[in-house]
Structure 1
């Protein structure tokens, strides 16, 4: 059972929470058409964590909240200024305590790392008096989603017994997806990569190259467009999910060699991979709202406050600020932190309204001089 000091977790459960290799498989001759959700599904209303309106900007220099991290992948605020942080290569979940100390909350059982696979996204979900920590990770033969009860009070959190939520997601050394987020509708959204099986992205019966929508227990959520776990298809490697204040869902996606993407996500839509990359204007496929050269982005985690989406760039080594309106681009994206902190892996809006960002320079692809990675706090102010 959770202590009273973690009651704030119920108000921060939407958590925003480098595919460079080429693949040689031949694309399918024709795309799977987009498909509308089942009748009766309505656009979910935003929750408190996305209710701030307008556009936002980074205000001031970054503050270091935690250091000494090794290949961190996801950060999930727990309330009271604390957070849980996943480390990809060793399967550890670290707690940043309200006092600003870093300690181990536990190790996720069964994590097998290698290449880009390992322990990826985290998400928190409250069920009555219980709080569950959900995790996406590579196992021996697949990627899977598991959950564990979060036990103890803030500053002394531990992980309970693991329960498999979904297994059988394809795993490979690259293109493993891995972001988790509970949406405003209360369902669990899971991003998967094509795991170098390009054709799978266009197959609505396959789990690879998708955004999935599940009940907290792991069943396909009611109203899914193909009557299975799949929410959208045609993805190469999605690693970021967030919702703006109008309820619009956004996802970041790694391109192959040319274009990275920020996409507006709508149920039953086809985002084109591997038939197209970037903007193509092809019937039956959805073009990105923003497309960047891969050298400028390689986007991983994203966060949203009001109608601004913040995109963490790995190869691009910058944080993109994207203002939106009614699901469309409202102004040219702005880059901050350019080359100041190296590779950026995740971004999330914390309960205090600030933006928290994870660096990612210790996973073998960043600055070889990097000794550790950081959790940074960036104050946000309304755009003027």
Structure 2
């Protein structure tokens, strides 16, 4: 049965204190800040543009996204997802450390699911495990895929070849990322520049986000070999800092980098990421306008969001919400993000990941078997959304 949800009513109200978790559900979308104020930085050197760019300009009336197919069912905490050149998705399971290859659905039936292998040394605890996956931009030649893994002593970026649907030997790319039972970050993606971007969490140790030389609570930018990129702001692998926990990054059609970030008590965030800027955690949460800290573009109470995956498609950012149990569509015009609308609220439970598929649809994963959801008989699922 296909589900079709009407856009959630948007209201602007003051934030109320809410408990920090990634479970539960509320029905009201709350946004703080105005479109003109959102995203302004207290750093004098930062500037922004409100002019539309490319497909960032959207029509006055947009179609309502709807789920049109199911790609897979019965998965165990699917976390990372990327697409191979042949159109199949490569998917990670957080707790089993399995790597799956999922074919697109055919004639209304889910696609084939093939187990390519298991990433070794993964230790799943609470939010930790086998997390993000990114396919090499040169996969046709190097057959390489990258993973973000949580081991007993640290988090790592590793790589392996994928040939004949089998995962090869796993090798470390970047080590020494602090780990914890919570706030491990874990989203990885190749940017338009060909570099690999890595989101990390502060592992529940807030002071790590303030240490610019520490890998925790940061966005890291590395080469496919795990080295710092020439031009990184601090001559290290650190790209931005002062983050709590990020599980979503995406680039719009103008090359701007966006990230979704978990708040604590009051404000989940959508941030426009610029190199070297300090996003304030734990000194500030949400909008602050304090000098030296960069304001988010949009904020939500954690009950309405707890944002994870992020994708860009058709002039919009699409943000998966765990605790909010919905998919947000956010208008992007230049360097401004506005007018978030929530869809599928409560229809599929917790939404972990959203990725743009080769055909322009979105693939969206549920996360109801992660210990914080209420799994149904088909969970966890990968759903195909026509945006």
- Shorter-chain TM-score: what band? 0.7 to 0.9
Contact kept, 8 Å, 1:88 with 1:120, in 2: the verdict is yes
Indicate yes or no: 2:157 matched with 1:145: yes
CA contact (8 A) 1:249 1:266 kept: yes
Q: Which runs of 5+ in 1 are unaligned?
A: 1-17, 22-32, 38-49
Of residues 156, 170, 176 in structure 2, which corresponds to 1:168?
176
Q: Which residue, out of 239, 257, 270, partners 2:278? A: 270
Which residue pairs with 2:129 in the alignment?
A: 118
Q: 1:304 aligns with which of 287, 304, 312?
A: 312
TM-score by length of 1: 0.83
Aligned residue for 2:369, secondary structure, equals: coil
Q: Which residue number corresponds to residue 107 of structure 1?
A: 118
Kindly tell me: are residues 139 and 20 of structure 1, through their superposed partners in 2, closer, same or farther at Cα, counting changes over 3 Å?
same
CA–CA separation in structure 1 for the residues paired with 2:112 and 2:158: 26
- Runs (4+) of structure 1 exceeding 3 A deviation are 33-37, 50-62, 368-371
Cα shift readout 1:281-337 (whole Å, capped 9, x = no counterpart): 1111111101001000000000001431000000000001000111112x4210101
What is the rounded CA distance, in whole Å, between the counterparts of 1:147 and 1:34 in structure 2?
37
Deviation per CA, 1:195-248: give whole Å up to 9, x if none.
112111111100000000000100011101110010000000010000111111
Counterpart contact for 1:111–1:118, Cα < 8 Å: yes
Q: 1:338 aligns with which of 338, 345, 349?
A: 345
- Residues in 2 aligned to 1:371 and 1:59: alpha-carbon distance in whole angstroms: 21
Normalised to the residue count of structure 2, the TM-score between the two structures is 0.82
Say yes or no: does 1:86 pair with 2:86: no
Gaps of 5+ in 2: 1-18, 23-41, 47-52
Per the alignment, residue 67 of structure 1 pairs with 73
141-150 or 368-377, larger mean C-alpha shift = 368-377
What is the CA-CA distance between 1:160 and the residue it aligns to? 1.0
Aligned mates of 1:177, 1:201 — CA distance in 2: 12
Contact 1:35 1:267 in 2 (8 A): no
- Please give the alpha-carbon distance, in whole angstroms, between the structure 2 residues aligned to 1:88 and 1:273: 26
CA distance in 2, matches of 1:368, 1:349: 25
**Against the structure 1 CA distance between its residues 130 and 19, is the aligned structure 2 distance closer, same or farther, given a 3 Å change threshold?**
farther
Per the TM alignment, residue 122 of structure 1 is displaced from its structure 2 partner at its CA by: 0.3
Relative to structure 1, is the Cα distance of residues 265 and 186 closer, same or farther in structure 2, using a 3 angstrom cutoff? same
Choose the corresponding residue for 1:129, options 141, 146, 157. Answer: 141
Length, aligned pairs only: 335
- What residue is the counterpart of 1:97 in the other structure? 103
Query: Which digits, 9 at most, give the CA deviation of each residue in 1:18-48, with x for residues without a partner?
Result: 9639xxxxxxxxxxx97989xxxxxxxxxxx
How far off its partner does 1:95 sit? 0.8
| 8 A Cα contact 2:67 2:383, kept in partner | no
In the aligned structure 2, how far is the partner of 1:103 from the partner of 1:271? 40
Distance apart, 1:370 and its partner CA: 5.3
Contact 1:237 1:253 in 2 (8 A): yes
- How far did residue 257 of structure 1 move? 1.4
**What is the RMSD computed on CA atoms of the aligned residues?**
2.2
Would the aligned equivalents of 2:272 and 2:296 in 1 still touch at CA under 8 Å? yes
SS in 2 for 1:68: coil
Q: Do the aligned residues in 1 keep the contact of 2:134 with 2:147 (CA within 8 Å)?
A: yes
TM-superposed CA distance for 1:52, in Å, is 5.5
Question: Paired residue for 1:353, among 333, 338, 360?
Answer: 360
1:20 aligns with 2:31: no
1:212 equivalent to 2:220? Answer yes
In the alignment, what sits opposite 1:45?
A: none
**DSSP 3-state at the match of 2:209:** helix
